[in-house]
Amino acid sequence: RPASASYIYWRGAIAPAALAQSVCLSVLLATRDAITPLQIVGMAALVNIVGDAALCVWPLQWGCAGAAAATSFSTLFGCAFMLRVLARKKLLPRIRVPTKLEIRALLEYTGPLLGITITRLIGFLSMQRAAMRLGVQHLAAYQICINSMVFFLLFGEPLSQLSQTKLPALIDAQDGKSVLDILKSILKLAAITAVAVATLPYLFLTFGSGSFSKDPAVQLLASQTAPSIFLAVATAIMTVAVDGAMLASRDFMFILFWGTCTCLIQLNRLSRCTSLAAIFGTFTFRLGTYAVAALGRAALGKGNLGRIIAKFRKQQQQQQQQQIQ
């Protein structure tokens, strides 16, 4: 417990810097500058590695607290450099008290988004509780599986950033043709990425779980869960791309409604799960149904995204009829 508490203290102390770094990263990506954030993240990772060696191994040997301190220093390093880059680009705003209009506009975005985040967090916590009920070995295998899944899901995040960078301006301009073309391109890229990236955790859990556990039973459970992780990662990457488009169209109430419904269904199914594969299956079901519902909504001309696409298709049909006549 003292080691866990020290880790929480260190990480909690730099939480504002971590949030600021995330915002800065999104702003830099919105300017279509992906190289500068990559360089900063790479240097921050190097700082983290050096810090782990110095604070955990030698000379200080702080253990868990040292690992947390190294991560905290790397986060502060990355945040400081990103703020410096934004200042050079003249994109760093001055610190001031926001107006009521600005607060209202912010709450229109962050309010539903907070609800969406809470439902997703509840889903992950419930999955871990379901794994705990299965026993110690199942819980150990679950930790290996969930960590590998979350790690490889990070490769799908640029797809969401791409949607949120490209689509908002086109949606505001009611440019249905460009919206549809970009959406198709992102979905094609997501499909290829989903299969390619999902193969990696499958191979790792099938052949490499022994690097994290020497228990043969835990290794067997991890390898048995590998197919479910493949489906979960592939589905999640596709969903991340779709979710980015829905966020770009500001269809928050639909996301919140569907996220709440699928969360309740997942909680119901988790209470009956008797294997790790079934636990991750609820995750795949939840994301898959959301992605299908979101794409179906757009295809039927519903929501901001669907209405713009439907309007463009109607204009296309009218032009074709005029050409025929």
Q: What is the tens place of the pLDDT at every residue in 96-131?
A: 888 888 888 777 777 777 888 888 889 999 999 999
Separate counts of helices (H) and strands (E) for the chain: 12, 0
Region label for 143, one of left (φ > 0), alpha (ψ between -120 and 50) or beta (otherwise): alpha
pLDDT surpasses 70 at 89: yes
Share of residues in the chain with pLDDT > 90 (%): 36
* Cα-Cα end-to-end distance for the chain: 78
Residues 209-221 have a mean pLDDT of 88
Kindly compute the dihedral angle of the four CA atoms of residues 29, 183, 299, 242, in this order, to the nearest 10 degrees.
-40
9 Cα distance to chain centroid: 25
Q: What is the tens place of the pLDDT at every residue in 242-301?
A: 988 888 888 888 888 998 999 999 999 999 999 999 999 999 999 999 999 999 998 888
Among 310, 313, 266, 311, smallest CA distance to 288 is for 266
Quote the CA–CA distance of 149 and 156 in Å, as a whole number: 11
Q: On the CB side of 272, how many CA atoms lie within 13 Å of its CA?
A: 6
pLDDT surpasses 80 at 32: no
pLDDT surpasses 70 at 3: no
Among 119, 126, 127, 117, smallest CA distance to 149 is for 127
Least confident of 46-55, 193-202, 238-247: 46-55
Q: Is-contact 178 308, C-beta < 8 A?
A: no
Quote the CA–CA distance of 322 and 105 in Å, as a whole number: 43
What pLDDT, on the 0 to 100 scale, is given for residue 108? 74
Residues 80-94 have a mean pLDDT of 87
What pLDDT, on the 0 to 100 scale, is given for residue 285? 94
Top-confidence residue, 109 or 185 = 185
What pLDDT, on the 0 to 100 scale, is given for residue 149? 92
Q: What is the tens place of the pLDDT at every residue in 216-225?
A: 999 999 999 9
pLDDT surpasses 90 at 214: no
Residues 32-45 have a mean pLDDT of 83
Q: What is the tens place of the pLDDT at every residue in 157-175?
A: 888 878 887 888 888 888 8
